Amino acid sequence: MPSQKALVRRPSPRLAEGLVTHVEREKVDVDLALEQWETYVEALHAHGWETVEVDPEDDCPDSVFVEDTVVMYKNVALIARSGAESRREETIGVEEAVARLGCSVNWIWEPGTLDGGDVLKIGDTIYVGRGGRTNAAGVQQLRAAFEPLGAQVVAVPVNKVLHLKSAVTALPDGTVIGHIPKVDRPALFPRFLSVPEEAGAHVVLLGGPKLLMAASAPKTAELLTDLGFEPVVVDISEFEKLEGCVTCLSVRLRDLYA
């Protein structure tokens, strides 16, 4: 029986100081961001997910983007080592949370760097973005951790966006979706569907045909509804100003051993 737990972490009061790489800095409304985060967590609960709140890290502005700190495959948690040095403290609370859940814990070690947002899993295929935050040594260490467990690791160049999952995610049937101007090599994916909005490239699989996605992609929501999926829409405007998307705000744990 697959597990339906999700790690989440409440936004830091310093959220507005979060890093921006590929976008112009905009003013972030921290109070609104907290409301949006609570709505996001409620959406997970409403669709059968149990959330596990990681201890907050108030001095780390980007700590709400918990996905970047760890990559899960089966029962193994690979603790990331961000290419952004200012984000490395974020992993401490996450390491404790996954250990408490009974995961086997591994680490990315120097000189490797890896952000969890660069990792897209589709069944036993793990796509890893080689970009600004994840280096070649990080890719090699991810391979070493997960290939013995049955994963096939495929490295993908990422130059146009912050993370691989800023460019592409996957539908429940394994089709990869992305907004073409932001995807380096669409041909690397066996099945690729182009979506009309950048924010439309990001979905969290809630179970069955339900897809958690951002309110900023109404045309994509329409397209996916037309294909028989059920978008569950949340407004995450304040996180989008910091290059965040729906996947970044949680880590879905689907394969914990009962």
Active site members: 163, 248
> Residue 77 corresponds to which amino acid?
A
Contact 205, 44 (CB under 8 A): no
Query: d(Cα 53, Cα 100) in Å, to the nearest integer?
Result: 12
207: phi then psi, degrees, rounded to nearest 5? 120, 140
Q: How many residues does the chain have?
A: 258
Interacting residues of 142 by C-beta distance below 8 A, sequence separation 6+: 71, 78, 108, 114, 119, 126, 128, 153
Cα-based distances in Å from 219 to 89, 161, 200, 201, 224: 38, 21, 8, 11, 9
Nearest to 109 by CA among 138, 75, 147, 130: 138
The two three-digit tokens of residue 124, written as one number: 């036993």
Residue 257: DSSP 8-state: -
DSSP, collapsed to helix, strand or coil, labels residue 169 as strand
Query: d(Cα 67, Cα 120) in Å, to the nearest integer?
Result: 11
